[in-house]
């Protein structure tokens, strides 16, 4: 395109940056970033998102944060506020995941509120999760309640799962059990099964086999054909050497004509 003097647009830049993210090449990615600045596309929400995603996958957190900080957010314009929420949500994701900067997530959330940017559901997932990883149980519960009471957002299964994980990480399994019981009357069946599954997984990690069995039982009462619950339960039994329980579980799955999905792995060979 350069040789043939073809104009570069945002679509070209985003596609090229996404390619750099996929193959994790920092050299060409930084060259593209230079072109972004020269061509005046630094204020584009799409190009900025692609740049942040690139640096996040390369674990270059400072570079990702620098791109975010350079983005203009005018609070008097509704569109800019929405873009600001998009970028804050993306940067929250950058800080979490493999990077583990959970304290920065909470700081960024407070900065969003000061800037007048309304957080969305994605932001609350990362913020509540961050509270779980930093042991701030009460703060995480406050954020969950604020999501509903202050911002009028409807909690999704992922929000309940984060809240349950938050309590379980703090060893508050009984509170998590009580929460799921209370929420099960307010949520739909699919959401409730997800919550019981999250509790089952958390109990597995904490070694509370009895509570895990009860959570699995409640989930299967709502969805007897849910293979995922059986797999979680089977993995827990295997973890603690409960081979008789595994045999009984397999018999139940055979009776209900259930099969675990076959997994596969890919190996990339560079020539």
Q: What are phi and psi of 260, to 5 degrees?
A: -75, 135
| Alpha-carbon span 160 to 80, nearest angstrom | 29
Give the N- to C-terminal CA distance of the chain in Å, as an integer.
27
The token pair at 32 is 């593209």
Q: What are phi and psi of 137, to 5 degrees?
A: -65, -50
Cβ-based burial of 204 (10 A; exposed 0-12, middle 13-18, buried ≥19): buried
20-23: Cβ within 8 A, 24+ apart: 20/54, 21/50, 21/53, 21/54, 21/57, 21/58
Q: What is the pLDDT of residue 77?
A: 46
Whole-structure pTM value: 0.56
CB half-sphere exposure, 111, CA atoms < 13 A: 16
Q: What is the pLDDT of residue 78?
A: 45
Q: What is the pLDDT of residue 96?
A: 54
Q: Is the dihedral of CA 64, 65, 69, 70 positive or negative?
A: negative
Q: What is the pLDDT of residue 76?
A: 39
User: What does the DSSP 8-state code read for residue 187?
Assistant: S
Q: What is the pLDDT of residue 100?
A: 56
- Number of C-beta neighbours around residue 18 at 10 A: 12
Low-confidence ranges of the chain (pLDDT < 70): 59, 61, 69, 71-102, 186-187, 259-271
For residue 223, the Cα-to-chain-centroid distance in whole angstroms is 24
Residue burial 114-142, b: 16+ Cβ < 10 Å; e: rest: eeebbbbebbbbbbbbbbbbbebbebbbe
73-76: Cβ within 8 A, 24+ apart: 73/115, 73/117, 75/115, 75/116, 75/117
Q: What is the pLDDT of residue 262?
A: 47
Contact 153, 120 (CB under 8 A): yes
Q: What is the pLDDT of residue 213?
A: 92
Contact 77, 111 (CB under 8 A): no
Q: What is the pLDDT of residue 237?
A: 92
Q: What is the pLDDT of residue 217?
A: 92
């Amino acid at each position: 395109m350069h040789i043939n003097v073809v104009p570069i647009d945002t679509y070209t830049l985003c596609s090229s940056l996404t390619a750099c993210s996929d193959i994790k090449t920092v050299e060409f990615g930084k060259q593209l970033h230079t072109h972004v600045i020269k061509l005046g596309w630094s204020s584009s929400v799409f190009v900025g998102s692609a740049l942040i995603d690139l640096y996040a996958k390369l674990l270059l957190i400072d570079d990702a944060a620098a791109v975010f900080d350079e983005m203009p957010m005018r609070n008097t314009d509704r569109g800019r506020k929405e873009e600001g929420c998009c970028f804050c949500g993306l940067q929250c994701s950058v800080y979490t995941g493999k990077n583990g900067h959970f304290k920065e997530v909470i700081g960024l959330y407070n900065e969003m509120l000061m800037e007048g940017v309304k957080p969305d559901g994605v932001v609350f997932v990362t913020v509540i999760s961050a509270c779980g990883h930093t042991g701030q149980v009460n703060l995480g519960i406050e954020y969950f309640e604020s999501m509903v009471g202050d911002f009028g957002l409807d909690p999704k299964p992922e929000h309940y799962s984060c809240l349950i994980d938050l309590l379980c990480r703090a060893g508050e399994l009984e509170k998590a059990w009580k929460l799921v019981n209370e929420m099960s009357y307010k949520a739909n069946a699919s959401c409730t099964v997800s919550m019981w599954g999250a509790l089952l997984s958390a109990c597995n990690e904490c070694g509370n086999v009895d509570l895990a069995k009860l959570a699995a039982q409640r989930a299967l009462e709502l969805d007897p054909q849910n293979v995922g619950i059986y797999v979680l339960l089977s993995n827990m039994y295997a973890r603690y050497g409960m081979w008789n329980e595994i045999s009984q579980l397999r018999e139940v799955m055979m009776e209900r004509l259930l099969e675990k999905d076959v997994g596969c792995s890919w190996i990339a060979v560079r020539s």
